Chains A and B, each alone.
Chain A
């Protein structure tokens, strides 16, 4: 090797080591100029506020994606809590579509309120479960979308054949495909998650779902919704999809001594059995997303979390089964768990039950310094 080549190689290594950390809301590294342009234009649609004149409602939870996914940057989490309802009978989950489920919208446009006198969608009478759902971060979801099904299924162990007490199970979407998005892993792809969110969260119909939500199972009263469907174009939908897809997971903070100890404990206690630290994407037409290893801290599978956390069923997920939450941008979280019931990481760990009870108990048994080290590690994510 010549001296010039050695110096060049050294400079590349230094540059790689000195890369600016990715902040919440940043796009993934390596996008083309055209992809960065779509990210920027998609952010505009994401941050739009819709009105009844531009298609909002008749039922909605929010006037725009960015109204909820806003903290600490667009695409982040929010303090809004929405309501879901399903019925679980005889081992079969009914999402109560015939009664307006499973997303029960909490707001109505003025015309609907005038027609029916309601401020929110009626809660389904047949529901056996009610869930509250906080707004999740969207950072890194484009990478999660590209983890091959075979990788996710390789972590599944529904019969606990390795006798570690952890039984990851895949959920399936309504048409039977492997699910990975949503707190119950009910949605198969990011594109569908985004397209469905326009309709279910904002009442904005789009080309993938051009029909409005019903009102508690009943049709929309005449004259309440005069905007023709679909209420956004394919291009608006695609741009929003690209914005979400290109959102990078923030770079984990550099670990100090306590953080490194916490990282060891995270594995040693068994947390990493479900919160798989790194995943790798498969193929993609976007080079920046292709074959990328990233800090995911999830297996995208369902695990029984015990009766105290149980709420609704969804697909194959029973009320007590939840998808392992990806631990991405945990440092910015103010509330934890699917319904935001925990205000500290220690509370969140303490609320883990079911398959996670063993890891929780080992955490509880740690001396205070080690518990602090573990939470220090988690706050680096």
Chain B
């Protein structure tokens, strides 16, 4: 059966680090989920991700270089609100996950 690729793809999107080509570089983590909280002053947000009914909160931080986009246009972190669906490309640092890019996802186009 073909469950392994499907489950593996799922895990890759939701929880597992995607290895970059150069092993010395930090891993990139990709999360797609619903915005739970946004705290622009603290440059932090939490995403709800998960599998089925088993949901998890993923806290992450934005930095000055973090690009936040909606429909291809740059927006600020404060423009995101709870309930929005985003994809966040993150890397793990000593301070936790840091998002390099956060893109709002149009639910009707989500796959």
Minimum CB–CB distance from B5 to chain A (whole Å) comes to: 10
- Chain B residues contacting A192 (CB-CB under 8 Å) are 10, 51-52
Query: Is B10 touching A102 in the complex (CB atoms < 8 A)?
Result: no
- Chain B residues contacting A208 (CB-CB under 8 Å) are 7, 10-11, 14-15, 51
Query: Is A174 touching B34 in the complex (CB atoms < 8 A)?
Result: yes
Minimum CB–CB distance from A286 to chain B (whole Å) comes to: 7
- Chain A residues contacting B32 (CB-CB under 8 Å) are 175-176
Chain A count of residues within 8 A CB distance of the other chain: 47
**B55 interface residue (CB < 8 Å to A):** yes
- Candidate in B3, B49, B56 with the most chain A CB atoms within 10 angstroms: B3
**A129 interface residue (CB < 8 Å to B):** no
Query: Is A174 touching B50 in the complex (CB atoms < 8 A)?
Result: yes
Chain B count of residues within 8 A CB distance of the other chain: 33
Query: Is B85 touching A194 in the complex (CB atoms < 8 A)?
Result: no
Question: By DSSP majority rule, is chain A's interface helix, strand, loop, or mixed?
Answer: mixed
Segment 226-254 of A: residues with Cβ below 8 Å from B: 234, 237-238, 241-242
**B110 interface residue (CB < 8 Å to A):** yes
- Given A195-B51, A238-B4, 12 more pairs with CB closer than 8 A: A92-B82, A103-B53, A175-B49, A175-B105, A176-B110, A177-B111, A191-B7, A191-B10, A207-B11, A209-B50, A209-B51, A238-B1
Query: Is A176 touching B3 in the complex (CB atoms < 8 A)?
Result: no
Segment 52-108 of B: residues with Cβ below 8 Å from A: 52-57, 82-83, 85, 105-107
**A216 interface residue (CB < 8 Å to B):** no
Q: With A and B bound together, what is the CA distance between A189 and B56 in angstroms? A: 18
Q: With A and B bound together, what is the CA distance between A172 and B110 in angstroms? A: 9
